[in-house]
């Protein structure tokens, strides 16, 4: 998961690796909204996609992976989950802050024994997620009479959500 390979530094779709044995290959059969299997065991598979936007915009995508997943948008990390799991839709939701013009989306799927898999779709719920600056959230928590139980309802649209991540 943590081992870096050349695509993480620069995506060059004409470049080959491992003395020409590894190349970027277009996969027209990778249709959005479907689970796709990836060959190989105990390795990493990189997936690249160009997203063109007429203007700067936010786009929420739904992802799934077997096993770990890392995502970069325009060279910036937007997701890293080191997990062992079977691939399924909607395991992760990521907000992509697209710039006007071309955007480079890179996924790294780490997989153990039994091969890997991934899922990608534009989320059906682009939602009106309201972002709350941390200092405002902190002020709310520290306010007199603030009831934590009322805020932690598991719904990120109406209050705080609670959860845990494997370290």
Q: How far apart (Å, rounded) are the C-alpha atoms in residues 72 and 27?
A: 20
Nearest Cα to Cα of residue 121 among 33, 28, 27, 29: 33
Contact 99, 56 (CB under 8 A): yes
pLDDT tens track for 88-132: 999 999 999 999 999 999 999 998 888 899 999 998 776 644 444
| Cα separation values, 71 from 31, 33, 93, 153, 161, Å | 18, 17, 11, 28, 22
pLDDT at 22 over 50: yes
pTM of the full predicted structure? 0.73
DSSP secondary structure letters along 49-108: EEEEESS-EEEEEEEEEESEEEEEETTEEEEEE-------TTSEEEEEEEPSEEEEEEEE
pLDDT tens track for 33-90: 999 999 888 889 999 999 999 999 999 999 999 999 999 999 999 999 999 999 999 9
- Give the model's pLDDT for residue 152: 47
Q: How far apart (Å, rounded) are the C-alpha atoms in residues 60 and 133?
A: 19
């Amino acid at each position: 998961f943590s081992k870096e390979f050349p695509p993480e530094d620069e995506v060059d779709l004409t470049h080959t690796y491992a003395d020409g044995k590894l190349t970027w290959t277009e996969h027209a059969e990778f249709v959005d909204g479907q689970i796709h299997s990836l060959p190989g065991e105990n390795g990493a598979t990189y997936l690249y996609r160009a997203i063109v936007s007429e203007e700067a915009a936010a786009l929420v995508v739904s992802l799934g992976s077997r096993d770990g997943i890392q995502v970069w948008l325009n060279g910036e990390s937007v997701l890293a989950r080191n997990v062992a799991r079977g691939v399924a839709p909607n395991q992760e939701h990521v907000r992509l802050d697209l710039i006007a013009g071309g955007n480079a989306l890179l996924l790294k799927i780490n997989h153990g024994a039994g091969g890997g898999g991934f899922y990608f779709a534009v989320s059906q719920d682009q939602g009106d997620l309201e972002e709350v600056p941390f200092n405002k959230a902190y002020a709310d928590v520290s306010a007199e009479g603030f009831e934590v139980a009322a805020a932690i309802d598991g719904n990120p649209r109406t209050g705080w959500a609670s959860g845990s991540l494997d370290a």
